[in-house]
Amino acid sequence: QVQLVESGGGLVQPGGSLRLSCAASGSIFSMYTMGWYRQAPGKQRELVASVTSGGSTNYADSVKGRFTISRDNAKNTVVLQMNSLKPEDTAVYYCNAEHILRTLRPSANYWGQGTQVTVSS
């Protein structure tokens, strides 16, 4: 069992920056691939960025060069640094934890409650 709590969302002007944090508890943090997803009104939830326990990262094409995901296993946190924000980045952002043994632990997939990010003038 993993509990995830997101923080850092808010209202920012285009071109601005936000730093989202996700705090995990209840299990061994290093055993999970961590990711950030987002869902805008009327759209499907999409992967924004992910980072494996080994530090490998993956980004959606729409955020490459602007967003950076990182993790601190000692503090059980994952951070999404968002720069050069655009109005189309507006969405609810969700933290996700997926067990590294994906095929052996398919039920070990957890979500936070989400944090709102609004990019507007």
Radius of gyration of the chain (CA): 14
- pLDDT of res. 28: 80
Q: Which two tokens stand for residue 98?
A: 């997926």
Considering only 51-55, 81-85, 116-120, which range has the smallest mean pLDDT?
Answer: 51-55
Characterize 6-34 residue by residue with b for buried, 16 or more Cβ atoms within 10 angstroms of its Cβ, and e for exposed. Answer: bebbeebeeeeebebbbbbeebebebbbb
Identify the bridge partners of residue 25 per DSSP, sorted by sequence position: 3
pLDDT tens per residue, range 61-85: 999 999 999 999 889 999 999 999 9
